[in-house]
């Protein structure tokens, strides 16, 4: 059993490391093929690195976006090491290093300079890469680390800080390249967020109602697959056959939906299952560890 656990951990680590390098390739494509030719700024630390690169371009000491991306993240690596976890920090360093390295190594290719196309396609590629990384338990650094730290210590979201930071980046795009480019960068931020949400489904909550005649079997099987509590309502009755049933309620993430389906196939394939999308949670909900 211990040997199986070691093999599984090794498999997870290899998968996360591979995902970190895939993320690096995708963000470098977004940067070198779309954002740079289209004068579009990304969000967060990546956007800040782009801004500093633009401002130092004609100085005696021009700085590259690839180098700045890693350097600006270094204080956040220290914060993550002490406040979040060592394993989390190691994979974050790998992801940021991979993106910095690939941005530097990948030869820029100007497919188009149309700012709308560059904003949309650059953001879509980056959003897919970021969502993929988050889905596999990897942070891409930057403001993500601040968000996790603040949520861990206070339970509050970093949404306001994200908005302020990205507003600063968009405003800078307008000052440097002209105000239409501020709107193009803002469009890119929206596309990036939408694509990221489509890929990273762990944060989307769903309410599940199960009507079954085999409550014990269903509860045992569901809780073996998913680590969430279940509320039981006894004494329900079907209006058609007047068979006594039990109603079960739980909340899962969209990421866990395949596990729920598998649990229902194993325990009671004939159960009635109703799923409500995008519910809001008040109170404790078991989040996966980072």
The set of long-range contacts for 219-223, using a CB threshold of 8 Å and a minimum separation of 24, is: 219/248, 220/267, 221/263, 221/264, 221/266, 221/267, 222/248, 222/250, 222/260, 222/263, 222/264, 222/267
Provide the percentage of residues in the chain whose pLDDT is more than 70.
88
- 72, 45 Cβ separation under 8 angstroms: yes
Is the confidence at residue 281, as pLDDT, over 80?
Answer: no
Biggest alpha carbon–alpha carbon distance for the chain: 83
pLDDT tens, residue by residue, 7-61: 777 877 888 889 999 999 999 999 999 999 999 999 889 999 999 999 998 888 8
- The position carrying tokens 């005649």 is 213
Q: Alpha-carbon distance 251 to 101, whole Å?
A: 40
Residue scoring higher pLDDT (149 or 120): 120
pLDDT tens, residue by residue, 59-96: 888 999 999 999 999 999 998 898 888 888 899 999 99
Q: Alpha-carbon distance 24 to 156, whole Å?
A: 29
Q: What is the token pair recorded at 127?
A: 């959003």
pTM of the model: 0.73
pLDDT tens, residue by residue, 93-109: 999 999 999 999 988 88
Report the pLDDT value the prediction gives residue 165, as an integer from 0 to 100: 80
What is residue 139's three-state secondary structure? coil
- The residue extents of the domains of the chain are 2-199, 205-277
Q: What is the CATH number of domain 205-277?
A: 3.30.70.120
What is residue 288's three-state secondary structure? coil
- 65, 57 Cβ separation under 8 angstroms: no
């Amino acid at each position: 059993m211990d040997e199986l656990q070691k093999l599984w951990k090794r498999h997870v680590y290899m998968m996360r490391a591979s995902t970190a390098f895939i993320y690096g390739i995708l963000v470098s494509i977004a940067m070198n093929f779309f954002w740079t030719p289209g004068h579009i700024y990304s969000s967060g630390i990546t956007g800040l690195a782009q801004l500093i690169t633009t401002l130092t371009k004609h100085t005696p000491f021009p700085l590259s976006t690839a180098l700045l991306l890693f350097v600006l993240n270094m204080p956040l690596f220290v914060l993550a090491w002490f406040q979040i976890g060592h394993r989390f920090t190691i994979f974050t360093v790998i992801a940021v290093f991979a993106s910095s390295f690939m941005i530097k190594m990948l030869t820029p290719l100007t497919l188009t300079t149309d700012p709308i196309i560059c904003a949309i396609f650059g953001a879509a590629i980056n959003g897919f890469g970021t969502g993929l990384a988050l889905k596999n338990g990897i942070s891409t650094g930057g403001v993500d680390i601040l968000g996790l730290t603040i949520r861990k210590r206070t339970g509050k979201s970093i949404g306001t800080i994200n908005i302020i930071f990205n507003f600063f980046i968009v405003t800078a795009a307008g000052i440097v390249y002209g105000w239409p480019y501020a709107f193009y960068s803002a469009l890119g931020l929206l596309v990036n967020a939408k694509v990221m949400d489509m890929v990273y489904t762990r944060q989307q909550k769903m309410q599940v109602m199960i009507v079954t005649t085999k409550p014990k079997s269903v509860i045992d099987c569901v809780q073996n697959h998913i680590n969430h509590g279940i509320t039981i309502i006894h004494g329900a009755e079907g209006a058609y056959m007047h068979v006594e049933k039990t109603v079960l309620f739980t909340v899962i993430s969209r990421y866990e939906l395949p596990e729920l389906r598998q649990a229902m196939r194993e325990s009671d394939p004939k159960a009635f299952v109703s799923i409500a999308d995008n519910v809001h949670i008040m109170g404790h909900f078991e989040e996966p560890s980072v």
